[in-house]
Structure formats: structure tokens, C-alpha cells
Amino acid sequence: MNTTNHKPGRLFIAAFSLCLLAGTISSIAQPGNPLSPEKINAALDEAFTKFKDVKDGKNADYIKELANVDPDIFGIALVTADGQVFTKGDIESKVSIQSVSKVFTMAKVIEEQGHQAIQDKIGVDATGEVFNSIVAVERMRGKEINPLVNPGAIASTSLISGADSAAKWKNIVQVQSDFAGRPLSLNMPVYISEAGDNLRNQAIAHLLLAYGRMYFDPVQATDIYTKQCALNVNTKDLATMAATLANGGVNPVTKKKVVSPETVMYTLPVMATAGLYDDTGIWFYNSGLPAKSGVGGGLLAVCPGKFGIAVVSPPLDAAGNSVKAQLVIRYVVEKLGVNPYLIQPK
């Protein structure tokens, strides 16, 4: 066989494959584009330097174990919708995910039961109250309890498929892990600390039961919810979870399809309207990005179609949101010019 005769053909195939490959590589973080790796790295570096010495805020301490977490943990991670990872600072230290988990359990319920189920069985209007408000439940007689604050989140957990508590827990760990791109494990001291002291959440679950808005045993639902909040994550995990939403439900690092684009479409607006509790309006006004915080000190935000970003820094403000995380993400969004509401006229 005369190989030389085949060379042009091979060259053509090689060139053709390269073109195909180039076509499949998204231009999200290519040099020369507004979101080039250089620009992303510079924005993260600047934000880190600018805010690393901020000492405002205080660790949550109503869950006793959270008061013992190192307040100086400070990590930033940005994962693009095509799976490029940018980090700065401490991205190894883990904190409990807390309320950030509420997003992914809600997304799973939407995936399993359709978006109408969340609207009909929980409600999607913001309560305008603190995240563990009993008054919010009472005032609305169990309606409009919102999946991103404790009452709606415990109801969400109770709606997750699974014949018993163990099956529901397995389902929740699976979906949180799929979003993060690695198996997440339980922070046992945090779980034990909160489980021994969560009478308020149990009261909320029972009040919901009284209003016909609890869809599983209230004690067990509260326990699964408490465990879900005690899953350990680092900054990169949170950024990957956000990037999976930014990429329409496919984890851009593992390439696994976690939820559908339609599920993401219904998840992001709830984050936009209730992700930072009663300070969501201030957050959204200043960043334009759907986001979610947790009292463990994690905060993630989604730039749809572009990237997910997360920061871990435990000291919180009065509303329960990480002080440094808000400063960093707002800075990066402004620096990169990625507020979706920044519209250049034609």
C-alpha cells in the first residue's frame, strides 16, 4: 500500500478534525474575548487583594459548631460554562454547605415533579422575612413559604422522591454531588450540633404539617434537611455547582447531565428573588446575578451561559450572608462587565 497517496487525505482529515474541535471549544474564556483567562485571573487577584483584610461580620453561632470554623478561610473560584477553572486563595478548606443546598434540592424536585409542583405545593414568592421565620409561615397560613428559606426548603426535602428517609437522603446526596462533580460527604460535628438544637426547624415542619404543606414525616424531613445542610464543600465545589446551572444543567467539568435546561430556567428566578434572604433585593440590584448564600460562609452566583462563581468566607452580616463573598462577587461582576442587565445599545 502506497502511504504517500494517502497523505493528502490524512492531512485533510486532520485539518477537518481540528476545525471541528475548534468549533466545539466555546469562546467563553479564550484570549481576546471579554472573558479571557487573563481578565478572569486579574479580576480574581484584584478582588482577593482588595478584600482579604476585611474583618466585618461574624461566624454564625446559633449552630454551635459553626462558631468554631476558622473565620479566615477565604477562597474564590470561578468555573466557566465550558469547564475552565480559575481559583484564588484557600480552595481546599471545607465548610458546611447550609442553605446553598436548598437550590439543588429544589432543582431536583422541579426535575422530578415539574415546575408547577414547586409553585403549587410550596410557593415561589419571597417571604421578605429572615430565613428561619415562623411568622412568615403563620402570616400566609402555610402558603408562599419559598424553597430557599427554611420552611420551603424543609417542604422541598419532604417532596424529594424516595420511599423512606434513607432513600430520600441518598437521592439528595446524589444530586448535590452531581452538581459539585464529586461525592460530597457529611460534616458529622456540624450535623450533630444542629440536629441537637433544631427545635425551631422542627416547629416549622410541624406548623407546615398543620397547614397541609408537609409531604413526609416532619421529624424525618427536618432530619434529612439538617443533614443536607451539613454536607461539606469547598469553594471549587460551590463554583462547579453554580457553573452547572450556568451551563443549563450539564456539569461542565464532569459533562454529566444533572438536570434539564428547563429545570435551570425555573431555578434561577427563585435564586434571583430569594437567594440572599431578606437582602436579596440589595444583592440583585447591585449584581444582576441569581445567587445563594449559606450560614456556613459559602455564597455562589450564576452568570447564565457564562460561568459560576463562589466564595467561602465564614463571617456573616446581619442578614446571614458572607460579607467578603458579597464584596468579591460584586467586584468581579463589575470588573468583567458581566451583569446581564448591562445592555449595550445597538
Give me the residues that bind ligand GLN (CB under 6 A), please. Answer: 98-99, 131-132, 150, 194, 201, 229, 294-295, 320
Q: Which three cell numbers stand for residue 133?
A: 421565620
Kindly tell me which of 312 and 338 has the beta carbon lying closer to ligand GLN.
312
CB 316 within 8 A of CB 58: yes
Question: Smallest distance, Å, CB 201 to ligand GLN?
Answer: 5
Kindly tell me which of 314 and 320 has the beta carbon lying closer to ligand GLN.
320
Kindly tell me which of 175 and 295 has the beta carbon lying closer to ligand GLN.
295
Question: Smallest distance, Å, CB 76 to ligand GLN?
Answer: 20
Question: Smallest distance, Å, CB 139 to ligand GLN?
Answer: 19
Question: Smallest distance, Å, CB 134 to ligand GLN?
Answer: 12
What DSSP state is assigned to residue 300? Answer: E
Q: Which of 88, 89, 57, 51 is nearest to 71 (CA)?
A: 57
Cα–Cα distance, 79 to 170 (Å, whole number): 26
Question: Smallest distance, Å, CB 336 to ligand GLN?
Answer: 27
Non-local (6+) Cβ contacts of 1 within 8 A are none
Question: Smallest distance, Å, CB 235 to ligand GLN?
Answer: 16
Cα–Cα distance, 290 to 307 (Å, whole number): 12
CB 93 within 8 A of CB 312: yes
Q: Which of 200, 201, 124, 114 is nearest to 159 (CA)?
A: 114
Question: Smallest distance, Å, CB 234 to ligand GLN?
Answer: 17
- CA 221-322-334 angle, to 5 degrees, is 120
Sheet holding 75-80, edge to edge: 85-89, 75-80, 307-312, 298-303, 291-293
Kindly tell me which of 83 and 294 has the beta carbon lying closer to ligand GLN.
294
Kindly tell me which of 84 and 201 has the beta carbon lying closer to ligand GLN.
201
Kindly tell me which of 124 and 295 has the beta carbon lying closer to ligand GLN.
295
Q: Which of 50, 26, 34 is nearest to 336 (CA)?
A: 34
Question: Smallest distance, Å, CB 222 to ligand GLN?
Answer: 9
In DSSP notation, 126-178 reads ---S-TT-SHHHHHTTTSS--TTSHHHHHHHHHHSS-SSHHHHHHHHHHHHHH
**Element (DSSP H or E) covering residue 307:** strand 307-312
State which residue has the least CB distance to ligand GLN: 99
Kindly tell me which of 22 and 199 has the beta carbon lying closer to ligand GLN.
199
Kindly tell me which of 28 and 66 has the beta carbon lying closer to ligand GLN.
66
